[in-house]
Amino acid sequence: MFNSQHMVHSHGSLGADFIAMLPFIFALVIYLSAVIKSAHSGKNWPIYRIFMWLIGVFCALAAVTGPIAVHAHHDFTAHMLGHLLLGMLAPLLMVLAAPMTLILRTVNVRLARRLSLILRSKFFRFASSPLITSFFNIGGLWLLYCSTLYQEMQNNFALHVVIHIHIFLAGYLFTSSMIYIDPSPHRTSFLYRAIVCATALSGHGILAKYIYAHPPVGVPAEQSKMAGIFMYYGGDVVELVFIIIFCYQWYKSARPVRAVPSYEGQ
């Protein structure tokens, strides 16, 4: 029966979805404005990066609003699909779109220097550390699904928004700390990142298996099994792309540089 309590919960969910989508709309506007400004200054931004940003924002929006978000409030399988879009695919695509590089080339010199100082700060060094980003990304998921937090967020407006924003930011920071596309003053070695990345991805896969066998509080067993399958195999697809990019960057960095022939004296 569709009672008043259900209506209140539905309206609250819609409000949370609307608030969660605002940062991505803002990010879309800022990015496209920077593209236009760059074009006006005679520096065309690569089309493929624009498409990656657009698709990445679309994936994030699909996870927080629309049919997937609506079903995610009462279907754990839909929620897990949203997690793959919001926490894995959208961050990967948006990192590949190189937003900070675009911003730095379009803002004035004073603002560019301030942004550079932020990137070089101790706080950013800590926040962009592969070990720290892995902890917040994978550790956050273990906390969400292995405690009562998932059930609580379905009935708490603010918590619902905060968790969705955390899932995206944790995924974005993790991705950007592993594959360097934008300027990164605090770079770490490929070997170190490879070890941390392998551990983190293993933790993600183990969590998927755990969810399959141990449903989170309030989640039916059948939904939990299907969600675990989605998380495991869907995560593998995104992770494969991630690993290919990482290995390609490592290969390029290790490839010997050809000496430029000298024609002096000829």
Higher pLDDT, 108 or 178: 178
pLDDT average, residue stretch 140-158: 91
Helices 157-178 & 235-254 angle (0-180, nearest 10): 30
Residue 204, in any domain of the structure: yes
Model confidence over 229-254: pLDDT tens digits? 999 999 999 999 999 999 999 999 88
Mean predicted lDDT score pLDDT of the chain: 88
Q: Judge whether residue 168 has pLDDT over 50.
A: yes
Q: Judge whether residue 1 has pLDDT over 50.
A: no
Nearest alpha-carbon partner for 177 in 218, 229, 138: 138
Q: Judge whether residue 62 has pLDDT over 80.
A: yes
Q: Judge whether residue 264 has pLDDT over 80.
A: no
Model confidence over 40-61: pLDDT tens digits? 888 889 999 999 999 999 999 9
Residue 262, in any domain of the structure: no
The whole-number pLDDT of residue 70 equals: 86
Residue 197, in any domain of the structure: yes
What confidence tier does 265 reach under pLDDT thresholds 50, 70, 90? very low
Residues 133 and 122: their CA atoms lie apart, in Å, by 15
Report which DSSP code applies to 86: I
Q: How many domains does one find in the chain?
A: 1
Residue 131, in any domain of the structure: yes
Residue 263, in any domain of the structure: no
Amino acid type, 145: Y
pLDDT average, residue stretch 187-215: 96
User: What percent of the chain is modeled with pLDDT above 70?
Assistant: 90
Residue 265, in any domain of the structure: no
The whole-number pLDDT of residue 15 equals: 64
Cβ atoms of 173 and 137 within 8 Å: the answer is: yes
The whole-number pLDDT of residue 137 equals: 96
Structure tokens at 257: 């540089």
Which positions ≥6 away from 208 have C-beta within 8 Å? 228, 229, 231, 232, 235
The whole-number pLDDT of residue 16 equals: 67
| pTM of the shown model | 0.88
- How many angstroms separate the Cα of 247 from the Cα of each of 112, 143, 240, 250? 31, 30, 10, 5
User: What percent of the chain is modeled with pLDDT above 90?
Assistant: 68
Residue 57, in any domain of the structure: yes
Domain of 221 in residue numbering reads as 4-254
Sign of CA pseudo-dihedral 112, 133, 129, 46: negative
Structure tokens at 258: 């050809």
Cβ atoms of 98 and 35 within 8 Å: the answer is: no
Residue 133, in any domain of the structure: yes
Could you tell me where the DSSP H helices lie in 85-129? 90-96, 99-106, 109-120, 122-127
Which helix or strand (DSSP H or E) is residue 235 part of? helix 235-254
What confidence tier does 154 reach under pLDDT thresholds 50, 70, 90? confident
